[in-house]
Amino acid sequence: MASKIRESILEALSSSDNSYFSGQELADQAGCSRTAIWKHIEDLRSSGFMIESRRKKGYRLLGKTDELNENNLLVGLKTETLGRSVLFLESVESTQKIAHRLAQETAPEGTLVIAEEQVSGRGRMARSWHSPKGTGIWMSLLLRPSLPPQKAPQFTLIAAVAIVEAIKDKCDLDVDIKWPNDLLINGKKVTGILTELQADSEQIHSLIIGMGINVNQSAEDFSDDIREIATSLHIESDKTFSRAGIVQEILSNLEKYYAVYIKEGFEPIKEIWEKYAVTIGRQITARTLNKEIKGFASGITNEGVLKLIDETGETHLIYSADIE
Ligand code: BTN
C-alpha cells in the first residue's frame, strides 16, 4: 500500500509541469488521508525528490536529485520481477562478483546488484571498466533462464536493445550497437555489457548481465587514455539525467524482451537488434584472442553469433572479438 501511495503521488506530480496539487487532491487520487500524503511527501523528499509545498496551493515537483538508493530504484519501478529484489551498495570491487556470489546463494531471478562506485570494475577480455563514484550506472542483473549455455550470448543482444531503447526514451539520444556488446553515440562508447554465466554442459544455472553506462560524466571525468573513445549521456546532450529513471526503464524493457524471447524465440529480438546495429553490412576486422579476420559482416546467426565472409568467400562464425 505504502509504495502504491507514493507511486500515485509521483504520477500526479509528474503529470503536468509546474502545476500544484492540493493535499486533498492527492489524497483522493491515492485513496488515503491527507496526513498519509504529508508523510509520504516527507519520505519522497528524503529519497531525493525535490517537492515544493506552498500554503493554499499545495505540492509541486521541482525535480529529483540524482541519488541512487534502494528506495528510489523501487519507487516507480514498473516490472513484475526484474529489479524487485535489489541490493544497492556504495562501493564494491565489482557488481559482477557480488551477483555471482548471490547466484550461488539461491538469489531469485531478477535480483539486481547496483553500486555507486566499483573499484575493480571489469570488462570483456579481462579489461578493466572505469566506474567512478556517483556518475554512472554500474549494475549486474541475475537471470535464471532454463536454457542451454550456447544461448547465453543472445542475452547480450537482448540487453543491448533494452538499453538503446531506454536511452532513446529517457534521454532522446540515438545509440548504435557495435557487435557484440558496445553501445556507441557518435562513434564513442557509452555503454558496455558483460554477460557471464554459471552453467553445466546442458543447462544455465544463472546468467549475470553486467551493464556499465556512462551517464553524467563530463569529458574531464574520463582519463586521458579513454577520453577519445568514451562518452556519456551528459556529454552528448548537455543534460543531467536521473540514473534511477534510466535503470527503471532498462529493467522494464528487459522484462518485456525477455518475455518475448521466452515465448517466441530470438528471431523477433534479432530483427530489432539489426535496426540499431552498425557492424552489419560493412567491411570489418575482427580480432579474436588468437587471430585477425578481415571481411564483410553479413549478419548474425539465430544464436547471436557474427557471420563474417572473408575475401575467399569463406564464412567465419565469430563468437567473441573486437571489431574495427
Ligand atoms: C565491456 O564493454 O567490456 C563490458 C563492460 C561491463 C561493465 C559492467 S559495470 C557493471 C558490471 N560490473 C563489472 O565489473 N562489469 C560490469
Q: Which CATH number belongs to the domain containing residue 24 in this structure?
A: 1.10.10.10
CB 181 near ligand 1, within 6 Å = yes
Quote the CA–CA distance of 42 and 32 in Å, as a whole number: 15
Distance from the alpha carbon of residue 247 to the mean position of ligand 1, in angstroms: 15
How do the residues of the chain divide into helix, strand and coil, expressed in percent and rounded to 5?
35, 30, 35
Distance from the alpha carbon of residue 195 to the mean position of ligand 1, in angstroms: 9
Ligand 1 atom with the shortest distance to the CA of 124: 3
Question: 8-64: per-residue pLDDT in tens?
Answer: 998 898 887 678 999 999 999 999 999 999 999 988 776 667 788 888 889 988 766
Where are the alpha helices (H) located in 172-223, listed in sequence order? none
Give me the residue label for grid cell 532454463: 146
Q: Following DSSP, what letter does each residue of 143-182 receive, concatenated?
A: E---S-GGGHHHHHHHHHHHHHHHHHHHH----EEETTTE
Same domain for 296 and 156? no
- Where a domain ends, among 36, 64, 92? 64
Residue 251: name the closest of 97, 108, 20, 82 by CA: 82
* Contact between 16 and 60 (Cβ < 8 Å): no
* Contact between 79 and 255 (Cβ < 8 Å): yes
Same domain for 88 and 141? yes
CATH no. for residue 313? Answer: 2.30.30.100
Report ipTM (2 d.p.): 0.99
- Where a domain ends, among 16, 41, 64? 64
193 DSSP β-pair partners:
211
Give me the residue label for grid cell 571498466: 129
What pLDDT score does 2 carry? 63
Same domain for 160 and 84? yes
Same domain for 242 and 318? no
List the chain residues with pLDDT less than 50: none
Distance from the alpha carbon of residue 46 to the mean position of ligand 1, in angstroms: 30
- Which among 96, 156, 196, 213 is the best mutation to test ligand 1's pocket, defined by most ligand atoms within 8 Å of the CB? 96
Same domain for 38 and 117? no
Residue 311 has phi, psi (to 5 degrees) of -65, -15
Give nearest CA residue, ligand 1 atom 16: 210
Same domain for 251 and 319? no
Q: Which three cell numbers stand for residue 296?
A: 564483410
Same domain for 259 and 141? yes
CB 138 near ligand 1, within 6 Å = yes
Do the annotations mark residue 170 as ligand-binding? no
- Where a domain ends, among 19, 44, 64? 64
Q: Total structural domains in the chain? A: 3
What pLDDT score does 171 carry? 92
Same domain for 245 and 269? yes
Same domain for 79 and 172? yes
Same domain for 180 and 212? yes
What pLDDT score does 11 carry? 86
Distance from the alpha carbon of residue 15 to the mean position of ligand 1, in angstroms: 35
Give nearest CA residue, ligand 1 atom 15: 122
Distance from the alpha carbon of residue 122 to the mean position of ligand 1, in angstroms: 5
Same domain for 127 and 225? yes
* Contact between 23 and 59 (Cβ < 8 Å): yes
Q: Is 205 helix (H, G, I), strand (E, B) or coil?
A: strand
What pLDDT score does 148 carry? 95
Q: Is 77 helix (H, G, I), strand (E, B) or coil?
A: coil
Same domain for 177 and 28? no
Domain with 42 in it: 2-64
